[in-house]
Amino acid sequence: MPDSPPEGVDETGGPELISFADMPARLEAAGLKRVSAQRCRQLAEEDPRWPVPLDQALKVGRMRLFDWRVIEPYFRNRTSRQGQRTDIRRQDEGSSGQP
């Protein structure tokens, strides 16, 4: 049996499946800002740019699994808006402020 994979087969194998609980450590290991597992789940639920819709994620028991090679570029290119409230708008936005 040969030790090398047949021609045309990717040596990295299949997807690198990770759960929300695994994401903080993987982000840190990749040199990216650590984000909590809860925040990762929130981004998956609310951010339209999240690369894998939750209903399309692999589900094992109650866990959802994602391919790290798909998720990592999302976090690498994501712009953080720390402290910015997204649930309210300032009064001067969209109006002149004059009665």
Give residue 11's pLDDT.
Answer: 61
pTM value surpassing 0.75: no
Per the model's pLDDT, the better-predicted residue between 7 and 65 turns out to be 65
Q: Which residues contact 4 (CB under 8 A, 6 or more apart)?
A: none
Q: Which residues contact 33 (CB under 8 A, 6 or more apart)?
A: 27, 75, 80
- Express each pLDDT in 20-36 by its tens digit: 999 999 999 999 999 99
- Express each pLDDT in 55-95 by its tens digit: 999 999 999 999 999 999 999 999 877 776 667 766 555 55
User: Is residue 25 within a helix (H) or strand (E), and if so which, with residue range?
Assistant: helix 23-29
